[in-house]
């Protein structure tokens, strides 16, 4: 494969074939921390967020908050952020644009900025290339609250000339980001908001905990309905972010694929239950204590499984890519049906170049029909194993796919060059150091 020379600085050389063994630590969830930081904008007093990982998405939101006048500094304990929103003001559009290109979080600033300033600017959004990733639900939601949206070449300009008012919203799909959009907007909107078909991921519950600490009135029904009664004023919060269940599963899959053993300090069982069931079905072993979870390959063959990703409490889509690498080592045919993103299996073509046998299908394979079945997307896979993987030149396609390539390179015989590793810094804190701590043979090119 031809590799662009501009990418050669951003390479990790991985000498595979050695089980990873040892202990690493996970901190707060990438998919909660940046949103809790946005919530700090809604407070009338400072907030303290604990267990914050040093990842790019956090740095992006920190920069955006500072641009809008929020004072952000490191708190008293390691991993603590102190955020004081008392001097929030309008920011320069060009500055916002320069800061925001690499993340999807800026769209969640809409509600808080409309409340604080009466207007907001949202530039073009980044994020992983794993399908269309539209933001139509977000803008539909904001319009229902009373926002006007003017789409221009450089981004979206929003205003709320008559303030924001609570409303009845039904999401077409339980989207995580759109549910967060509703929460962050409804808490200070006038009156009651009823959101049905909401996402209920653990990170959303944790955001609700943050908002409740701030003084918000939010209740969750058993049927994906969330009710929010707007209040006039919110205070700052002190909160410890829930652990990153997606990073935890990535290391667990790495332990399985390399026949290794990893203790993930900081991991918690509750958010991992669905993953743990599947891990055990595949043949992986785990042991839970008060401080974390140890994951290991107990020896012997792994089992092929049928797997379907879904919204919580189903099998999280972000767990899929790392686990697929371990499934290349299982005996028999595994079926993977991706129902959250239409295009999150493209990363498998590189695994096939390494020696895996993975065939993609447009049909919904496995249990149920999903919204992509009639729409010509390659969203099901059959993984035939076990296969011996060989080292290769790999170019990272997206965050989780990227980590999966690292796992494949670790499990493979021989040496791989993994290009584009900087993308992994978006969501995995200090991952090269963690790999080294686990005994992985990795090096940066001279
Ligand atoms: N969708 C729309 N329109 C919208 C919003 C979403 O059609 O306006 C569709 C999406 O295209 C997708 C589905 O709804 O097919 C679900 O998207 P969702 O809104 O739930 O995803 P998100 O909020 O953009 C977050 C995480 C993702 C995670 C998903 C699903 C963050 C920053 N990102 O994305 O995490 O996969 O929820 O749980 O919280 C990752 O960590 O690698 C990652 C991609």
Please tell me if the CB atom of residue 261 comes closer than 6 angstroms to any atom of ligand 1.
no
Quick count: other Cβ atoms within 10 Å of Cβ 373?
Answer: 17
Q: For residue 365, what are the CA distances in angstroms to 75, 219, 306, 351, 370?
A: 49, 36, 9, 20, 10
Which residues share a beta bridge with 47? Answer: 83
Does residue 267 share a domain with residue 416? yes
Exactly one of 110, 128, 167, 370 is catalytic; name it.
128
Does residue 433 share a domain with residue 289? yes
Residue with CA closest to ligand 1 atom 36: 318
Does residue 155 share a domain with residue 274? no
Which mutation among 176, 195, 402 tests ligand 1's pocket best, with the greatest number of atoms within 8 A of CB?
A: 176
pLDDT, position 4: 46
Residues 160 and 165: their CA atoms lie apart, in Å, by 10
Does residue 407 share a domain with residue 342? yes
Does residue 298 share a domain with residue 278? yes
Please tell me if the CB atom of residue 400 comes closer than 6 angstroms to any atom of ligand 1.
yes
Domain coverage including residue 102: 33-240
Does residue 314 share a domain with residue 171? no
Give, for 256, the enclosing helix (H) or strand (E): helix 245-257
pLDDT, position 101: 60
Evaluate if residue 6 carries a pLDDT over 60: no
Give the position, in ligand 1's atom list, of the atom nearest the Cα of 103.
Answer: 32
Residues 305 and 296: their CA atoms lie apart, in Å, by 18
Give the position, in ligand 1's atom list, of the atom nearest the Cα of 140.
Answer: 8
Would you call 237 exposed, middle or buried from its count of C-beta atoms within 10 A (0-12, 13-18, 19+)?
A: buried
Does residue 85 share a domain with residue 186? yes
Task: pLDDT band for 270, please (50, 70, 90 cuts).
Answer: very high
Measure 327 CA to ligand 1 centroid, in angstroms. Answer: 24
Domain boundary among 223, 240, 257: 240
Task: pLDDT band for 36, please (50, 70, 90 cuts).
Answer: very high
Measure 117 CA to ligand 1 centroid, in angstroms. Answer: 27
Does residue 410 share a domain with residue 322? yes
pLDDT in tens, 214-254: 999 999 999 999 999 999 999 999 999 999 999 999 999 99
Please check whether residue 231 is in contact with residue 215, taking contact to mean a CB–CB distance below 8 angstroms. Answer: yes
CA of residue 91 relative to chain centroid, distance: 27
Does residue 185 share a domain with residue 114? yes
**Lowest mean per-residue pLDDT among 119-133, 247-261, 279-293, 385-399:** 119-133
Domain boundary among 240, 259, 279: 240
Does residue 37 share a domain with residue 21? no
Maximum separation of any 2 CA atoms in the chain, in Å:
66
Please check whether residue 337 is in contact with residue 365, taking contact to mean a CB–CB distance below 8 angstroms. Answer: yes
Q: The CATH number of the domain where 121 resides is what?
A: 3.65.10.10
Task: pLDDT band for 370, please (50, 70, 90 cuts).
Answer: very high
Q: How many domains does the chain have?
A: 2
Q: Is 264 helix (H, G, I), strand (E, B) or coil?
A: strand
Domain boundary among 240, 271, 297: 240
Give the position, in ligand 1's atom list, of the atom nearest the Cα of 132.
Answer: 11
Evaluate if residue 95 carries a pLDDT over 50: yes
Strand 192-196 versus strand 168-170 pairing type? parallel
Residue with CA closest to ligand 1 atom 22: 177
Does residue 213 share a domain with residue 319? no
Please check whether residue 323 is in contact with residue 308, taking contact to mean a CB–CB distance below 8 angstroms. Answer: no
pLDDT, position 2: 42
- Looking at every residue in the chain, the average pLDDT score rounds to 93
Does residue 37 share a domain with residue 80? yes
Residues 425 and 53: their CA atoms lie apart, in Å, by 11
Quick count: other Cβ atoms within 10 Å of Cβ 59?
Answer: 16
């Amino acid at each position: 494969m031809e590799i662009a020379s501009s990418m050669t600085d951003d390479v990790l050389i991985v000498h595979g074939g050695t089980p990873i063994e040892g202990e690493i630590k996970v901190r707060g969830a990438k998919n909660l921390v940046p949103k809790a930081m946005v919530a700090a904008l809604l407070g009338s007093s400072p907030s303290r967020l604990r267990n914050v990982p040093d990842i790019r998405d956090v740095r992006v939101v920190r920069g955006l908050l500072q641009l809008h006048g929020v004072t952000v500094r490191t708190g008293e304990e390691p991993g603590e952020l102190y955020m004081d929103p008392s001097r929030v003001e309008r920011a320069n559009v060009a500055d916002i644009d320069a800061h925001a290109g690499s993340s999807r979080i800026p769209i969640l600033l809409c509600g808080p900025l409309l409340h604080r300033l009466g207007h907001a600017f949202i530039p073009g959004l980044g994020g992983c290339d794993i399908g269309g990733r539209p933001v139509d639900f977000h803008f539909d939601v904001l319009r229902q609250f009373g926002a006007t949206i003017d789409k221009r070449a450089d981004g979206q300009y929003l205003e709320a000339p008559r303030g924001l008012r609570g409303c009845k919203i039904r999401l077409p799909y339980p989207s995580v980001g759109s549910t967060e959009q509703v929460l962050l907007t409804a808490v200070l909107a006038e009156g009651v908001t009823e959101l049905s078909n909401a996402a209920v991921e653990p990170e959303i519950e944790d955001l609700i905990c943050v908002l409740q600490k701030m003084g918000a009135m939010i209740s969750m029904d058993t049927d994906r309905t969330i009710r929010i009664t707007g209040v006039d004023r919110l205070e700052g919060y002190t909160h410890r972010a829930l652990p990153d269940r997606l990073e935890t599963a990535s290391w667990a899959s790495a332990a399985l694929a390399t026949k290794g053993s990893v203790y993930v300090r900081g991991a918690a069982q509750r958010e991992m239950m669905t993953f743990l069931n599947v891990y055990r079905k595949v043949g992986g072993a785990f042991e839970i204590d008060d401080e974390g979870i140890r994951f290991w390959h107990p020896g012997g063959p792994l089992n092929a499984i049928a797997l379907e990703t879904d919204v919580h409490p189903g099998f999280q889509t972000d767990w899929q890519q790392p686990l697929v690498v371990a499934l290349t080592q299982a005996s028999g045919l595994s079926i993977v049906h991706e129902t959250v993103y239409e295009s999150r299996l493209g990363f498998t073509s590189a695994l096939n170049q390494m020696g895996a046998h993975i065939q993609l299908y447009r049909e919904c394979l496995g249990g149920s029909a999903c919204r992509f079945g009639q729409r010509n997307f390659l969203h099901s896979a059959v993984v035939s194993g076990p296969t011996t993987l060989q080292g290769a030149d790999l170019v990272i396609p997206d965050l989780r796919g990227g980590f999966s390539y690292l796992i494949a390179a670790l499990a493979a015989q021989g040496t791989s060059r993994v290009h584009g590793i900087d993308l992994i810094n978006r969501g995995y804190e200090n991952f090269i150091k963690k790999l080294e701590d686990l005994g992985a043979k990795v090096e940066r090119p001279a």
